[in-house]
Amino acid sequence: MAKISGFSKLTKNEKISWIAENYLSDHPQAIEIIKQYWNADDKLQKLHDEFTENTISNYYLPLGVAPNFKIDGKFHVIPMAIEESSVIAAASKAAKFWEERGGFKTEVLSTTKVGHVHFSFSGNSQHLEDFFQNNKNKFFQDAKSLTKNMEKRGGGILDIELVDKSKSLENYYQLHCTFETKDAMGANFINSCLEQFGKTLESEAQNFEKFKVDGKFPEVIMCILSNYVPECLVRAEVSCPVTQLGDNEADSKKFVDKFIQAIEIAKLEPYRAVTHNKGIMNGVDAVVLATGNDFRAVEAGVHAYAARSGQYRSLTDVKVENGEFKFWIELPLALGTIGGLTSLHPLVKLSLAMLGKPSAKDLMRFVAVAGLAQNFAAVNSLVTTGIQKGHMKMHLMNILNQFEANADERSEAVEYFKTHTVSHSEVINLLEKIRS
């Protein structure tokens, strides 16, 4: 394997040539494949090149849509960027199912985001508390130039608290800071404010007499937002009479009993909970990606929220009360509809347009609904026909593509697997029979 200095300074073609020569020598078509995914529009390709560093090509994901979502009384089509074949079909099926039963209802519970100034201090903790109380307003004042525009939009710094963590880690303290960023994702805004707080902390501490006497001053370790946002919450739910969940009363009761048991298992068994929540994130991540938001941040925050009790649990819950079935989800979602890719990526802009140019709060609602729909579809399949029947039929086309099946072979395979179980080996056997 080769080493190189100054790789970032090479042109795109030079980068590709070096990679092909040193790491893809066994793939003679490597350069052709890489360039095959370039956009023919040079201006659009340049835009994509500048989204990241050392760009050599574009990596495509399908952008699909799930229609017929009735959310808070209005119909929506939800854009989803995902490669897993059954996800959009399952979401669409759940949307149709619940549209006939009143649709999805949502509520944004809070929109508070969090960041910290992490610092060390080995002096008297009461002196630190006195310093903080004397200078708390100074933190707000010094950040005024950063918060001016955000405050015009109704956002800004909500509060700053001094937190003593020294019992858990020697000399460790933090400024726990909360923010409202309205329709912006807010990461750059929050981090800029936090870095200013860090500067204020160290500079003002030099003038505090009690610190001077001890000769011990706060020392900033780092200033960074948190992707754990348990106070940036949205709730989505569906409900209907139990009798509407089956062909007759007995079927409805059996379905509901098994559905409740499935959710209870996901609440107490972490092995099941992880897969259960992964299915939720199939829907969540697909919408987050399609709308240009940070799915890695969402994933990290959501899974931390699922473990907030000390054990990793289901993100969804269910109950039956007075003959009414209710299924719901609460998710911590820090999203934005302005800034970043939302104003740059053409397909992101179209995805947001499809959703009616939503506010950040509205996008939280749509994302939560997608996660709830996906989970309902998955649990519904698990407690009735099993997950593989629908999933493998959707996966059939991927297997046929892998073996370059022509139109006639595809048609025959689709017909055959209407009455047979799809598996990789069975598809190969069928293709061999057709071709022989």
Helix 387-402 to helix 87-99 angle, to the nearest 10 degrees?
A: 140
From the list 176, 278, 349, 361, the catalytic residue is 278
In a domain, 61, yes or no: no
CB 156 within 8 A of CB 180: yes
Instruction: Give the residue from 231, 285, 326, 77 showing the smallest Cα distance to 277.
Output: 285
Give the residue carrying structure tokens 């959501």.
Answer: 302
Give the residue carrying structure tokens 């989970």.
Answer: 375
In a domain, 233, yes or no: no
From the list 12, 49, 72, 84, the catalytic residue is 84
CATH number of the domain where residue 306 is located: 3.90.770.10
- Are 100 and 243 members of one domain? yes
Residue range(s) defining the domain that contains residue 34: 7-49
In a domain, 230, yes or no: no
Task: Please write the tens of the pLDDT for every residue from 25-51.
Answer: 999 999 999 999 999 999 999 999 999
- Are 243 and 379 members of one domain? yes
> Is 391 assigned a catalytic role?
yes
CATH number of the domain where residue 148 is located: 3.30.70.420
> Is 170 assigned a catalytic role?
no
- For 130, phi and psi rounded to 5 degrees? -60, -45
Q: What is the rounded CA–CA span in Å between residue 204 and residue 210?
A: 12
Digitized pLDDT (tens) for each residue of the chain, 436 residues in all: 789 999 999 999 999 999 999 999 999 999 999 999 999 999 999 999 999 999 999 999 999 999 999 999 999 999 999 998 789 999 999 999 999 999 999 999 999 999 999 999 999 999 999 999 999 999 999 999 999 999 999 999 999 999 999 999 999 999 999 999 999 999 999 999 999 999 999 999 999 999 999 999 999 999 999 999 999 999 999 999 999 998 888 999 999 999 999 999 999 999 999 999 999 999 999 999 999 999 999 999 999 999 999 999 999 999 999 999 999 999 999 999 998 888 899 999 999 999 999 999 999 999 999 999 999 999 999 999 765 555 565 667 778 878 888 888 888 888 887 777 777 788 888 888 888 8
Count how many domains the chain has: 4
In a domain, 188, yes or no: yes
Q: What is the rounded CA–CA span in Å between residue 282 and residue 276?
A: 10
- Are 296 and 280 members of one domain? yes
Of 168, 191, 225, which marks where a domain is finished? 225
From the list 142, 237, 294, 330, the catalytic residue is 294
- Are 281 and 413 members of one domain? no
Of 384, 412, 427, which marks where a domain is finished? 384
| DSSP string covering 246-288 | SSSHHHHHHHHHHHHHHHHHHHH-HHHHHHHHHHHHHHHHHHH
In a domain, 58, yes or no: no
* Cross-strand pairs, 237: 105, 328
In a domain, 144, yes or no: yes
